[in-house]
Amino acid sequence: MFSNEDVAEIILRSGEHLILVTIAMIVAISIGIPLGIAITRYPKLAQPILGVANALQTIPSLAIFGFLISVPFLGGIGKNPAIVALTLYALLPLIRNTYVGINSVDRAITEAGRGMGMTDWQLLTQVEIPLASGAILAGIRVATAISVGVATIAAAIGGGGLGVFIFRGLATIDNRLILMGAVPAAAIALGADLALGWVEQRLTEQPLRRGKLDRKYAIGGGILALLIAGLVGINYFQAPPTIAIGSKNFTEQVILGELLAQQIETHTNIKVDRQLNLGGAFICHEAVKAGKIAGYVEYTGTSLIQILKQAPIKDPQLVFDTVKQAYDRQFQLEVLSPLGFENTFAFIIRNEDAQRLQIKTLSEAAKYTPQMRGGFGYEFLERQDGYPALAKTYGLKFAKIQQMEFSLMYPAIEKKSVDLIAANSTDGLIPVLNLTILEDDKKYFPPYQAVPIFNRATLKKYPQIQPVIDKLAGKISTQDIQQMNYQVDNKSRPVDRVVREWLKSKNLT
């Protein structure tokens, strides 16, 4: 079931995952525990600080990642913002358990200590912290479990880790890939919990002596710290790839990202760092604007409505020109020539339903939708040009609307847990799962031409890039992209091979 390559990548990703969690935990512990101690000394600060930590934990992780992209130094994409986000999530259990642990030390004991002439520092290090160490360690265990879980989302901003498998698996509806990420993540969580549980037990069996750690532990801890520092160093100071190419987190985008990357690598001497599977249009846009990635492929309709917040336009050329000009002026971004195909929104139903009800267009479908269950993505339900306006145009009403992750829609319509989904016209699964696209007969959706978008400063720095990307102009037909999507989605073939074959077929290698 797993090839050697798979195993090697599982080990690599597990390593990345562990490093993310370890660094985040080290940072979180060195902030959280002192903070927890501090608020036992200044009780007035306790409520505000615990409140902030609490609030941080309720923010969805993708939102934190999105916010961090534009923050200098700590933000961007890659490992740094992932570590920052993990740290923020780990703070609450650490601060709270330290605070509660110290405050629940029997008052008679602290009073005895004080009465015998211990200074506050001596009381803290020799009595309160050792007696609270069980609670503090329990906090570390909880925080570690949270971090291992949240770290899977780090893949959305190019942080690596086991989430890479999970996102890839969700995008290609490949349970095997999802398991390749989920099982090792669970194993790491369990392993870390067992190890910390063992430490906790040892601490309660053999109480710390006078707050001084045993020499043995100190040496062990020192070696561990050095090892981690070494791993971190290796990770950060690997020969840096010259530029980064990004993509959103679905199959077609990953294919297009890989395609740009291979095209650049075959025709120039530039190395490409693939930051594929970034979590959505917003994150990609912020990343390319900040120069964290050199470029990615966007769709003109998305740029016009979602990024530029302009009203829909029906003429494809006009949309392209508007977007190109606005990107040039507002963001210093270059919109290069369209790749050839359009990826519009598509309302999709099962063939059997289409035949039974005799419907081909959205107008015809409006009569039957009150008996149907719709499955839509969060983005589609939210955006201005998405569901609300479309429903108004066609007078659509549904029996029930299910919000779902993009990648869960096809399994859902196949298993008949929904009857109609809003997905993309280029999805390779449409023919494979015997689905029908309902025609947008009122031309509601604007054109969504695929265009490479690049950071202008990067193009100036590496003038050899643009001519190479321009060679792709108009080369990818709707059939081509559907076929590539199908190869990856349904045949589970590796993206890089599918892309290489296509490039070869177009004599681009």
Residue 101 engages other proteins in binding (rule: CB under 8 A): no
> Does residue 371 touch other proteins according to CB under 8 A?
no
* 469 binds other proteins, rule: CB under 8 A: no
Nearer to other proteins by Cβ, of 109 and 224: the residue is 109
112 binds other proteins (CB under 8 A): yes
Nearer to other proteins, 101 or 184 (CB): 101
The region of 22-30, 64-72, 206-214, 284-292 touching other proteins under the rule CB under 8 A is: 206-214
CA distance 104 to 83: 31
Q: Give the position of tokens 């063992």.
A: 198
The answer to whether residue 122 forms part of the interface with other proteins (CB under 8 A) is: yes
Beta carbon of residue 111, minimum distance to other proteins (angstroms, whole number): 6
Our measurement of the distance from residue 380's CA atom to the centroid of its chain's CA atoms, rounded to an integer in Å, reads 18
Distance in Å, CB of 144 to other proteins, minimum: 24
User: Within 124-183, which residues bind other proteins (CB under 8 A)?
Assistant: 127, 130-131
Q: Determine the Cα–Cα distance for residues 58 and 365; give it in Å rounded to an integer.
A: 40
Nearest-approach distance from CB 203 to other proteins, in angstroms: 9
Pick the binder of other proteins from 109, 194, 311, 389 (CB under 8 A).
Answer: 109
Among 5, 117, 358, 415, binds other proteins (CB under 8 A): 117
Contact 130, 211 (CB under 8 A): yes
CA pair distance 406, 423, nearest whole angstrom: 8
First to last CA, the chain: 32
Spatial distance between the Cα atoms of 194 and 113, rounded to a whole number of angstroms: 34
Q: Which of 111, 382, 405, 470 binds other proteins (CB under 8 A)?
A: 111
**210 lies in the binding site for other proteins (CB under 8 A):** yes
- Closest CB to other proteins among residues 72, 117: 117
Residue 483: which of 472, 498, 473, 468 has the closest Cα? 498
Is residue 121 at the binding interface for other proteins, with CB under 8 A as the rule?
no
The residue among 163, 144, 166, 164 whose CA lies nearest residue 152 is 163
> Residue 205, interface with other proteins (CB under 8 A)?
no
User: 98 vs 449, which CB is nearer to other proteins?
Assistant: 98
Structure tokens at 159: 């942080």
Among 44, 106, 238, 415, binds other proteins (CB under 8 A): 106
Q: How far is the CB of 114 from other proteins (least distance, A)?
A: 6
Segment (H or E) for 98: helix 79-103
For other proteins, the closer of residues 44 and 415 by Cβ is 44
Nearer to other proteins, 127 or 430 (CB): 127
Compute the Cα dihedral for 108, 46, 83, 16 and give only its sign.
positive
User: Is 116 an interacting residue with respect to other proteins (CB under 8 A)?
Assistant: yes
Binding to other proteins by residue 115, rule CB under 8 A?
yes
Does the protein bind other proteins through residue 113 (CB under 8 A)? yes
Nearer CB in complex with other proteins: 60/115:
115
Is 496 in contact with 274 (CB distance < 8 Å)? no
Helices (H), 315-464: 316-326, 351-357, 362-365, 378-382, 387-394, 409-414, 429-432, 456-461
Q: Is 476 helix (H, G, I), strand (E, B) or coil?
A: coil
User: If 0-12 CB within 10 Å is exposed, 13-18 middle and 19+ buried, where does residue 330 land?
Assistant: exposed
Pairwise CA distance, residues 174 & 94, whole Å? 36
Q: Is 1 in the site for other proteins (CB under 8 A)?
A: no
- CB nearer to other proteins: pick between 103 and 122: 122
Residue 40 vs residues 89, 105, 108: alpha-carbon distances, Å: 21, 12, 17
As measured in angstroms, the least distance from the Cβ of 30 to other proteins is 24
| Cα–Cα nearest to 264, from 455, 472, 475 | 472
Kindly state the DSSP code that residue 331 receives in the 8-state scheme: I
Per CB under 8 A, the list member of 14, 27, 114, 344 interacting with other proteins is: 114
Using CB under 8 A, which of 51, 197, 207, 467 touches other proteins? 207
Minimum CB–partner distance for residue 116 and other proteins (Å):
5
Amino acid occupying residue 86: L
The number of C-alpha atoms within 13 Å of 428 and in the hemisphere containing its C-beta is 22
The count of chain residues that interact with other proteins, using the rule CB under 8 A, is: 20
214 in contact with other proteins (CB under 8 A): no
Where does this chain touch other proteins (CB under 8 A) — which range of 54-62, 91-99, 117-125, 316-324?
117-125
How many Å apart are CA 232 and CA 227, to the nearest integer?
9
Contact residues: other proteins, CB under 8 A: 106, 108-109, 111-119, 122, 127, 130-131, 207-210
